Amino acid sequence: MKIGYPCMNRRIGCSSAKTFRLSSYSEHRLITTVGSNLACLLRILRFNVEHGIRFFRITSDLVPFASHPACAFAWQEHFGDSFKEIGRYIQHHGIRISMHPDQFTLVNALDERIFCQSVKELSYHAEVLDLLCLDASAKIQVHVGGVYGDKDASLMRFAGRYAKLDGLIRRRLVVENDERLYGLADCLRLHDETGIPVLFDVFHHAIFNRGETIPEAIDRASRTWKETDGLPLVDFSLQKPGARAGQHAQTIDVKAFLEFLEESRPFDLDIMLEIKDKEKSVIKAVRAAAKDPRFVRSNKE
C-alpha cells in the first residue's frame, strides 16, 4: 500500500503547476515555465521520499497549453533529459505515479471536435508518462463524461471510442466513478464492455451509489485491474464538516481513514488522499497506519 496526494506540495514553496495566460504565450515563456515546473516536480518527489510518501499525482499543468494549437514547440525533445532524470528517480524509489486530466477531457463527447481535442489532451498526458519511461502502472484517470440526454448511449459511445484509442493512451487509461452522473455500477459496466480498469473514488461513492458497501465496492473495482496495471488505485477524501455536500475536507480525519483501511482489507491498494492540506494529511495517515497493529504487516512494503 502506498498513500499519496495530488499535484501540489504546500510545504516546500514551489509549484510544478505554474502557468500563464494564453495571451502572453511565447516560446520563451513556455521554456522558462516548463523548466521551473520540472525542477519543482523533482523537489516534490524528493520531499516525498524523505517523508515516506511513494504515490503522487503529477499536475496536468506541467506543460501549459501542451495540447493547444498555440504550442508548436518541441518541448518533448527540449526537456527530454530532464524527464529522463525525473523518471529514473521515480523508478529508483518505487514511486507510483498517476495523472488526472480535467473536466474538458471528454472521451464520450457528442461533438467530434471535442472528442478530437480530448484525444490530444490524453496524448499529452501519455507523452509525459512515456518520457518518464514509466510502465503501464502509471495511470491516467478520467470520468465517463456527459450524459447528453441519453446515458446509455453515452456510456456506449465511450466504449466504442475507447476501443479505437491509440494503445499508448489505452494502456494507461482508467475510469473513475463520479458523484452525479456515472457511479460505480456504470463504470463496472464500462469495464465489462471494454476491459478498462475502474478507479474507485470513495467520496464520490458516498454521495452517489446504488447501496454497494465499501467492501463490496473495493472488491468489484479491484477485480478490474490486471497484473500489468499495478495495484488498484483508490481516491479517498472526506466531507468538509458543515459545508455543502461534496466539499473536500481541510485536513484528514485519521480515525475515519483507519476505518476505511479496515473496511478495504484484504485488498492491497494505492490510496490518493484528496484533502486540501495535501502532504500534511498524507504524513499523518502514513504515520497512523504504520503504528496501528492492524495494518503494520500490509504497510511494510
Candidates 31, 147, 169, 185; binder of DNA (CB under 7 A) is 147
Interface stretch with DNA, choices 15-23, 43-51, 134-142, 186-194 (CB under 7 A): 15-23
**According to CB under 7 A, which one of 46, 88, 104, 192 is a site residue for DNA?**
104
DSSP symbols for 142-186: E-----TT-HHHHHHHHHHHHHHS-HHHHTTEEEE--SSSS-HHH
Decide if residue 247 touches DNA (CB under 7 A): yes
For every residue of 237-289, DSSP letters joined together read --BPTTSPTTPBPSS--HHHHHHHHHHHTT---EEEE--TTTHHHHHHHHHHH
Q: Which stretch binds DNA (CB under 7 A): 140-148, 159-167, 168-176, 215-223?
A: 140-148
Q: Are 219 and 188 in contact (CB under 8 A)?
A: no
Residue 82 within binding range of DNA, rule CB under 7 A: no
Least distance from DNA to the Cβ atom of residue 247, Å:
6
Query: Residue 274's Cα: distance from chain center in Å?
Result: 10
Encoded one letter per residue, x for contact with DNA by CB under 7 A and - for no contact, window 184-223 reads: ----------------------------------------
Q: Which grid cell is 182? A: 456515472
Residue choice 24, 92, 211, 300 for contact with DNA (CB under 7 A): 24
Q: How many CB atoms lie within 10 A of CB 69?
A: 8
Of the candidates 50, 102, 112, 227, which one interacts with DNA according to CB under 7 A?
102
Among 82, 96, 121, 172, binds DNA (CB under 7 A): 121
Distance CA 83, CA 156 (A): 36
